[in-house]
A and B are shown apart, each in its own frame.
With several copies, the nearest count.
Chain A
Amino acid sequence: MNPTAAGFLYLLAAVLFIVGLKRLSSPVTAKAGNRLAAIGMLIAIVVTLLDEQIVSYWIVIAGIVVGGAIGALLAQRVEMTSMPQLVAAFNGFGGGASAFVAIAELIRGGADPPIRILVTIALSVLIGSITLSGSMIAFGKLQDLITGRPLVLPGQLVIDVVLAGVAVTAAVRVGATGETVYAWVLFGSAIALGITRTLPIGGADMPVVISFLNSLSGLAAAATGFVIDSNALIIAGALVGASGLILTNIMVKAMNRTLANVLFSAFGGETGGGDGTDHDKVARRASAEDVAITLAYAQRVIVVPGYGLAVAQAQHAARELADLLQERNVEVRYAIHPVAGRMPGHMNVLLAEADVPYDQLYDLEDINPDFAHTDVALIIGANDVVNPLAREADTAISGMPILDADKATTVIVVKRSLSSGFAGIDNPLFYLDNTLMLFADAKQGLTDVVSAIREL
């Protein structure tokens, strides 16, 4: 293919990425947008296959076939509740690809590549390898293969500093000499660094890590674009870099923390913190029948889903309950906290899977004033996002904006125990006079409530 035509087609691909992302601004156009971006990617791939002097098509084709099959299979099979893990895995693969490309470029680079090429190669290996191993640890934590608790290694600081020192030295040597052996040293130390730096981060902070790594891998792609003079890479990399940074920022802001705090403070743990039993305060335990009656005779209900809904896969049961209530002319809406669950927009996807129309889903600012005029706030597997301690000083979540569920006339909480959520702190909401606790797995509990309402 003539290189000018190729250049314009790459530009077209980049434009399709932009238009695709623009369409993500509304659920109505988002599907078309994602497809446009995919078409852009297809164009970029085909142009590359035709444009470059490919000598060994079979390696490329084999890679595409194998990778495509695995990717398609994973995409079809994954449970919606496992979305954070899947994105972590994909992100790691992307990072690995960048790192391997850079090493391969170095090997076949021939005599004396210019210094700026070497610098970018070093950068790609560094970022790509950290992304690969860091994302894999994130995957493990989210999939419960590794404990979600922060795993601080003995001598953590020393290990980190040594690994970082080796990596930086190796990167500098790659830049200066271009010798392949340093690239392997860099690869090894960066992989190790990705592992040791991710283990001490709590499981629920993994989405921040993934998003941050995704942003980095966008920047690495852009850096590669500088080397091989590819505007498609530069533009796509800049878009991804921006998107990752914005998402990271949304998450840390919604948790009222900083990125540094997330990455370096060994915060939280799935099962950490108080268990709420050794309290003088008492929580009021309710049966599924009690809950059924309260809900069935309410006029306005707001459902607050949280991470427990995802764990229990209770989205369909929640939808069934809401349908039943709506048939009885109870108004049902959903309040979605920006960091409910384990990734931004997590609850929206789960509820969409259960066919809950997205116009029944409300953002924090939009629904908070309404809790005061609401009969029942039904909290399903959420904890931190409704913890009133956030309004007080000196707690782990102080200053984090929360859903004002405690303002509702009656609060019903469906969870298995009084134990704490991700932030590892007790929740006074459970002990309020107007709170009823339904101790159950979310799915089982909601199913029981549905049967009880049917029998009313």
Chain B
Amino acid sequence: MSELLIPITVFVLAAFVGFEVITKVPPTLHTPLMSGSNAISGISIIGAIVAAGHENGGVAAALGFLAVTLATINVVGGFLVTDRMLRMFKRGDR
């Protein structure tokens, strides 16, 4: 248990930050929020890189390649499409 204390502390604090920050996002931006936070969840690409990079072949390497590919689609696509959406939002006083 004791080795869990630090990660749990970090998790609890981050969850508080998340709740506070996200509740301030206005409804107008909920779709970009959804796609943007989805892109952030692609952080598992870190694990994918480790898994893929440590193998020179075999099933694990194949799985690693697949994981890196899928995670990259999630990350790159997610941030780009969010950016594309957000670039469309304009104020009235043009």
Is A–B contact present in the complex under a CB 8 A cutoff?
Answer: yes
Identify the A interface with B (CB < 8 A).
3-4, 7-8, 11, 14-15, 17-18, 20-22, 24-28, 30-31, 34-35, 37-38, 41, 44-45, 48-49, 52-57, 59-60, 62-64, 66-68, 70-72, 74-76, 78, 80, 83, 86-87, 90-91, 93-94, 96-98, 100-101, 103-105, 107-108, 210-211, 214, 217-218, 220-222, 224-226, 228-244, 246-247, 250, 336, 338, 343-346, 348-349, 352-353, 355, 357-361, 363
The verdict on A360 contacting B92 (CB below 8 Å), with A67-B70, A71-B77 known, is: yes
Interface contact A108-B52, CB-CB below 8 Å = no
B33-71 interface bits toward A, Cβ cutoff 8 Å, 1 = contact, 0 = none: 111111111111111111111111011110111111111
The verdict on A355 contacting B90 (CB below 8 Å), with A21-B22, A246-B23 known, is: yes
Interface contact B86-A30, CB-CB below 8 Å = yes
Interface contact B32-A34, CB-CB below 8 Å = yes
- Residues in A neighbouring B33, C-beta threshold 8 A: 21, 24, 243, 247, 345
- Residues in A neighbouring B30, C-beta threshold 8 A: 247, 250, 343-345, 348
Q: Chain B binding site: helix, strand, loop or mixed by DSSP?
A: helix
- Residues in A neighbouring B93, C-beta threshold 8 A: 357
**Given the complex of chains A and B, what is the CA–CA distance between A220 and B13 in angstroms?**
17
- Residues in B neighbouring A359, C-beta threshold 8 A: 91-92
Interface contact A22-B43, CB-CB below 8 Å = no
The 7 closest A-B pairs by CB, nearest first: A67-B72, A63-B68, A242-B18, A71-B77, A345-B30, A54-B53, A71-B76
Interface contact B34-A87, CB-CB below 8 Å = yes
CB distance from A366 to the nearest CB of B (A): 11
**Given the complex of chains A and B, what is the CA–CA distance between A78 and B35 in angstroms?**
13
Give A7's nearest chain B residue, CB to CB: B5
**Given the complex of chains A and B, what is the CA–CA distance between A4 and B8 in angstroms?**
12
Chain A to chain B contacts (Cβ below 8 Å), 18 pairs: A4-B1, A4-B2, A21-B33, A24-B29, A30-B32, A31-B83, A35-B83, A45-B46, A71-B73, A75-B84, A90-B74, A100-B51, A101-B67, A108-B55, A108-B60, A232-B43, A235-B13, A352-B85
Q: Which of A60, A83, A236 counts the most B-chain CB atoms under 10 A from its CB? A: A60
* Given A90-B77, A222-B11, A231-B10: 20 more A-B contacts, CB < 8 Å: A20-B36, A28-B91, A34-B36, A45-B45, A45-B49, A48-B45, A48-B46, A48-B49, A59-B53, A70-B69, A76-B80, A98-B47, A229-B7, A239-B14, A338-B27, A344-B27, A344-B30, A352-B90, A357-B92, A358-B28
**Given the complex of chains A and B, what is the CA–CA distance between A108 and B61 in angstroms?**
9
- Residues in B neighbouring A72, C-beta threshold 8 A: 76-77, 80
**Given the complex of chains A and B, what is the CA–CA distance between A360 and B68 in angstroms?**
42
Interface contact B78-A71, CB-CB below 8 Å = yes
CB distance from B83 to the nearest CB of A (A): 6
**Given the complex of chains A and B, what is the CA–CA distance between A25 and B29 in angstroms?**
8
Give A220's nearest chain B residue, CB to CB: B44
The verdict on A52 contacting B50 (CB below 8 Å), with A27-B29, A90-B38, A344-B30 known, is: yes
**Given the complex of chains A and B, what is the CA–CA distance between A250 and B31 in angstroms?**
12
Among A37, A60, A70, A246, the residue within 8 A (CB) of B73 is A70
Among B9, B39, B53, B83, the residue within 8 A (CB) of A52 is B53
CB distance from A174 to the nearest CB of B (A): 15
Interface contact B91-A57, CB-CB below 8 Å = no
Q: Which of A41, A97, A363 counts the most B-chain CB atoms under 10 A from its CB? A: A97
| Number of chain B residues close to chain A: CB under 8 A | 89
CB distance from B53 to the nearest CB of A (A): 3
CB distance from B69 to the nearest CB of A (A): 4
**Given the complex of chains A and B, what is the CA–CA distance between A336 and B28 in angstroms?**
9
CB distance from B45 to the nearest CB of A (A): 6
- Residues in B neighbouring A343, C-beta threshold 8 A: 30-31, 34
- Residues in A neighbouring B34, C-beta threshold 8 A: 87, 210-211, 214, 243, 247, 343-345
Q: Which of B35, B38, B83 counts the most A-chain CB atoms under 10 A from its CB? A: B38
CB distance from B23 to the nearest CB of A (A): 6
Interface contact B42-A244, CB-CB below 8 Å = no
CB distance from A410 to the nearest CB of B (A): 26
Interface contact B32-A24, CB-CB below 8 Å = yes
- Residues in A neighbouring B1, C-beta threshold 8 A: 4, 8
Q: Which of A11, A22, A49, A234 counts the most B-chain CB atoms under 10 A from its CB? A: A234
**Given the complex of chains A and B, what is the CA–CA distance between A363 and B19 in angstroms?**
21
Interface contact B72-A225, CB-CB below 8 Å = no
**Given the complex of chains A and B, what is the CA–CA distance between A74 and B77 in angstroms?**
7
CB distance from B59 to the nearest CB of A (A): 6
